[in-house]
Amino acid sequence: MEFLLLIADRAGEPPRTEVGVEEMGKFARELAERGVLRGATGPLRPADEGVRICAVSGAPVLTDGPFAEAKEVVAGYFVVDAPDRAAALDLAKRCPYVRAGLVELRAAQYWRRREPTAGAQFLLLYLRPVLPGPDEPRLAEMIAYSDELRRRGVHLEGARLPPEEPVVQVEERGGRLIVHDGPFAESKEVVGGYALIQAPDRAAAIEIASHVPHIRWGTLELREVARRAP
């Protein structure tokens, strides 16, 4: 089973301690040596360099970051293979970033991946309300569009993050590991899915994102990948 370890900071809260790229890279290599690492991306460019896209009267509307409504700011992710949620939670607890921000554990459904070839990489976060609306017709449309992007050589990786599966956040405070079980009342939106794409530049990535069906019923956040996780 695939699970997503979403690496994030709480909006407006500075990191509690410094966890660098080297330490996160070491964690990625440990996961790879254990045979459980399926994918990794990050760190991302800052949120104030990102853009959110939603459709108004059928036309895409762009809003530049930072995003005041965001409770968490995504910094990257790992995809791991684990036999069950308990085993995946154990991996999340071992992630060094629990000391700086938080690690959110999510089940990853319909996860698919291909190797990059050229161009910059951009993460598309599909944001939805905490209480989702009808899913199946939308899911079919998103799968069809993702398949089209794969045929064009644009889509590298992606998954639905099913709202019916338990969500948990892990962080360390005062030397103590804390596990928060969702749903989280303070959140007005959650990540319902994601896609990693490759494009020549930011303008081309925005053009691709502006045609994603999700923007008709939710919000899409686009962030450039600063560096591929080792």
Q: DSSP letter string over the chain? A: -EEEEEEEEETT---SS---HHHHHHHHHHHHHTT-EEEEE-PBPPGGG-EEEEEETTEEEEEESP-TT-SEEEEEEEEEE-SSHHHHHHHHHH-GGGGTSEEEEEE-EEEEE----SSEEEEEEEEEESS----HHHHHHHHHHHHHHHHTT-EEEEEE--TTS--EEEEEETTEEEEEES--TT-SEEEEEEEEEEESSHHHHHHHHTT-GGGGTSEEEEEEBSS---
pLDDT at position 227: 66
* CATH dotted code for 2-224: 3.30.70.1060
Read off the pLDDT of residues 100-149 as tens digits, 9 standing for 90 and up: 999 999 999 999 898 898 889 999 999 987 666 666 678 899 999 999 99
CA distances (Å), origin 15, targets 58, 131, 223: 39, 29, 20
pLDDT at position 132: 60
pLDDT at position 109: 93
pLDDT at position 190: 87
Q: Which of 166, 160, 216 is nearest to 191 (CA)?
A: 160
User: How close are the terminal C-alpha atoms of the chain, in Å?
Assistant: 22
Distance CA 195, CA 113 (A): 10
What lies within 8 Å, CB to CB, of 76 at 6+ separation is 7, 24, 40, 41, 42, 43, 44, 229
pLDDT at position 71: 85
| Burial state string for 81-97 with b = 16 or more CB within 10 A and e = fewer than 16 | bbeebeebbebbeebbb
97 φ/ψ angles, rounded to the nearest 5 degrees? -70, -10
Count of positions (residues) in the chain: 230
pLDDT at position 186: 66
Question: Which residues sit opposite 76 in a β-bridge?
Answer: 7
Q: What is the pTM of this model?
A: 0.92
pLDDT at position 68: 81
Q: Which residues of the chain have pLDDT under 50?
A: 229-230
pLDDT at position 210: 98
